[in-house]
Amino acid sequence: MIGGIDPADVRITLQVATLATMLCIIFGVPTAWVLARYRFPGHAFVEALVTLPLILPPTVVGYYLLRTFGQSSPIGRFLDEELGVHLVFTWWGAAIAASILSAPLLIRTAQAAFERVDPELERVAATLGRTPVGVFFAVTLPLAVRGVAAGIALAFARAAGEFGATIMIAGNIPGETRTLPVSVYDAVQVGDIARANATALLLISITMGVLLFFTWATLLVAREQ
Amino acid sequence: MADTRHGEPSDVRLIIDVARRLRNFDLRVTVVSPADRVVLFGPSGSGKSATLQMVAGVLRPEYGRIQVSGQLLLDTTSGKNLKARDRNVGYVPQGYALFPHLTVEQNIAFGLPRDQKRERSRVDELVHLVGLEGERRTHPGRLSGGQRQRVALARALASNPRVLLLDEPFSALDPVLRPRLRDEVRSIQQEAGVPMIVVTHDLSDAFQLAEWLVVLDRGSVLQQSRPDEVFNRPATVDVAKLVGMTNLLPGRVIGSDPTGIDVEWHGHVLRSEPGESISSAPYPVGCPVIVGIRPTSLMFRLAQRSYEGRQNVLGGHIVREVWSAESCRLSIRVDPSHSEHDLEAELPGYAYYRLELDQRKDVEMSVRPSLVHVLPMSDSLPS
């Protein structure tokens, strides 16, 4: 391939970023909604906690994931012995690591978008017979769609570029866990400057492409309103 | 009011009996209405919106009981509390809360019950009822204030609600538009045959929409009755001030008979004849009272006529004139001069010229005894 890019690196990167983004949506959007709509004891603590991965060195996150899911921990042993699931040194582990590091971007962006939705609209929707879930999908989400979509785009781009935690938990196994960012590092280590250049450029293109696509898509949605 | 809990008379249409601690005061409101069109009237921060939200089910009272048209929505003693989505009320909050991402007809269709979601004819009917045929596919952001209000009304009516709940429905509107939309809301409501509770701080809204008027202040009901009763016979000085009875004259009872009360005020005798039999003479001779007279109740004598033999005649001179679009508000210093108790009178512009008040400032006025209202001195009702 051009400049010696390994197609497997591209495939693994897209797998990791897609799964990580899906995990972010499943856990992050409800979290963002709860943080936006409810005030409860420990609200500030939860906010700080979900923002933490943004500030922490990814290697620290990766280190704790390794300790949590590795063979030395009860959770890791349970997953291995009872369910046959291996997260360490697999692309699944990389996806989990990437989802944790991308989550703050999705949660904080979506939270801000939900906070801008007038709660009076949700109350009226409830008096018109909608369940809380119905209110969310008919009113809250459509009105917050730009912010939520922007959060998803950021999360995907961040997940595609994750390096530190990925290399801690998934390592650098070509064809199995080596993503594009890991490949850049690997190429530099072995002195393959051509591959490093090509891979870095490809990574920039993918993330730019994703961000532009989401900007365009949300503009299209916004024009409808 | 507490004994309405057991065996309400059949003509009770609405019961709201709620209590809750709010930010600035304790709300403790009891409304029992025999009529279908109820207005909660009071200054801002009186708890009227909170009361409406409790009926809508979006604010929870600490304890209470709410019954609309015979249907129990909430009763904390039996633990019953219908969720907002099960109450079937047509709630229109202040500012209307239209869904900005939906068109006019989508907004209206949002209110349709689940089994009617696909019924175009019902949406057509409602669009027609509120006269918005031309704006079906418009988004709320492009509508005028009056159009938004009508969309909100249609959306609320779409759910076939057992009651319409309107929070300050006209406050966002152009003052010129207000009277027209008030009439419109009333006729739409009557056409739809749905009971209605309106929250307002506007006196004209209250008077024109209410069949049953509830005056609230700082979380308590000051008075509730038929609107003309509240306007002409406010129970307390506070209510009198809220309903625009601005002439409040401190006096003393000097005589009382089965048809009326005589009150002495700064050397003048003012006779009050409420019309109905006076309830067991609540004001004994010598009792300090407040005499209430609406600014529109003062009648002026034409320059060439005589007031011989009339009751409640006061002489004085005009010290101030304030004109609005159609009427003139006069401040009149009554002889002998009491600057601290100038009377306020309001009369239409043509009357001002008919009375030649542009040429003379000395006037003679009278008040019908039936329009002179005697109030207790303090805000505690006479027992």
Same domain, B259 and B212: no
Distance (Å, rounded) from C-alpha A11 to C-alpha A9? Answer: 6
Q: What is the CATH number of the domain that holds B224?
A: 3.40.50.300
Would you mind telling me the total number of residues written for chain A in this entry? Answer: 225
Same domain, B181 and B266: no
In the block, tokens 């949506």 appear at A25
User: Which residues in chain B touch residue A126, judged by CB atoms under 8 angstroms apart?
Assistant: 57-58, 83-85
Q: Is residue B28 part of a domain?
A: yes
- The minimum CA-CA distance between A21 and chain B, rounded to whole Å, is 26
Domain containing residue B371: CATH number: 2.40.50.100
Q: Measured between CA atoms, how close is A128 to chain B, in angstroms?
A: 5
Q: Clarify whether residues B261 and B365 are in a common domain.
A: yes
Q: Do A123 and B56 touch (CB under 8 A)?
A: yes
Residue B156 lies in a domain: yes
Answer yes or no: is B286 within a domain.
yes
CB contact under 8 A, A129 and B114: yes
Closest Cα in chain A to B115: A129
Give just the sign of the alpha carbon dihedral A87, A89, A90, A91: positive
| Cβ <8 Å between B101 and A127 | no
What is the Cα–Cα distance from B6 to B15, expressed in whole angstroms?
Answer: 12
B230 in the same domain as B289: no
pLDDT exceeds cutoff 70 at A2: no
Q: Do B110 and A125 touch (CB under 8 A)?
A: yes
- B151 touches A at CB < 8 Å: no
Q: Are residues B143 and B253 in the same domain?
A: no
Q: What is the pLDDT of residues A119-145, one digit of tens each?
A: 999 999 999 999 999 999 999 999 998
Decide which of B187, B212, B236 is a domain's last residue.
B236
Go through the domains of chain A in sequence order and give each one's CATH number. Answer: 2-224 (1.10.3720.10)
Q: What is the dihedral of CA B313, B315, B319, B322, to 10 degrees?
A: 30
Q: Does A116 touch chain B (CB under 8 A)?
A: no
- What confidence score (pLDDT) does residue B4 get? 40
Domain membership of residue B358 as a residue range: 245-376
Same domain, B253 and B143: no
Q: Taking CB atoms and an 8 Å cutoff, what residues of chain B touch A225? A: 100-101, 139
Q: Residue B172 domain-assigned?
A: yes
B193 shares a domain with B119: yes
Query: What is the number of structural domains in chain B?
Result: 2
CA atoms within 13 A on the CB side of A141: 11
Predicted pLDDT of residue B137:
92
Q: Is there a contact between B328 and B347 (Cβ–Cβ < 8 Å)?
A: yes
* DSSP states of B264-297: EETTEEEEE--SSPPTT--S-TT-EEEEEE-GGG
Does one domain contain both B232 and B256?
no
Residues B183 and B126 reside in one and the same domain: yes
Q: Residue A1: pLDDT above 90?
A: no
If asked whether residues B216 and B331 sit together in one domain, one would say no
Closest residue to A121, CB basis, from B89, B99, B113: B99
Last residue of a domain, one of B236, B254, B275: B236
Percent of chain A clearing pLDDT 90 (strictly above): 68
B382 within a domain of the structure (yes/no): no
The verdict on residue B65 lying in a domain is yes
Decide if B278 is inside a domain: yes
**Sheet strands side by side (includes B268-272):** B268-272, B260-265, B247-257, B288-293, B373-376
Chain B residue with Cα closest to A224: B101
Q: Do A127 and B97 touch (CB under 8 A)?
A: no
**Contact flag B85-A131 (C-beta cutoff 8 Å):** yes
The DSSP bridge partners found for residue B248 are: B292
Q: Is A124 on the interface with B (CB under 8 A)?
A: yes
Residues B232 and B250 in one domain: no
The type of residue at A22 is M
Q: φ, ψ for residue B364 (rounded to 5)?
A: -125, 135
Would you call B91 an interface residue with chain A, using a CB distance cutoff of 8 Å?
A: yes
CB contacts of B87 in chain A (<8 Å) are 127
A127 touches B: beta carbon within 8 Å: yes
pLDDT at position A120 is 94
Note down pLDDT in tens along chain B; length 383 residues: 444 444 445 588 899 999 999 888 899 999 999 999 999 999 988 999 999 999 999 999 999 999 998 889 999 999 899 999 999 999 999 989 999 999 999 999 998 887 776 678 889 988 988 888 899 999 999 998 889 999 999 999 998 899 999 999 988 777 777 888 888 888 888 888 889 999 999 998 999 899 999 999 999 999 999 999 999 899 999 999 999 999 999 999 998 888 889 999 988 899 998 876 555 557 888 889 999 999 999 998 877 777 676 788 888 889 999 998 888 999 999 877 666 678 999 999 899 988 888 888 888 899 999 899 999 886 544 43
Q: If you search the block for the tokens 């904390």, which residue do you land on?
A: B76
Is residue B228 domain-shared with residue B260, that is, in the same domain? no
Closest CA relative to residue B367, chosen from B304, B293, B308, B315: B293
Residue B383 lies in a domain: no
For B20-57, b/e burial (b = at least 16 CB within 10 A) is beeeeeebbbbbbbebbbbbbbbeebbbbbbbbbbbbb
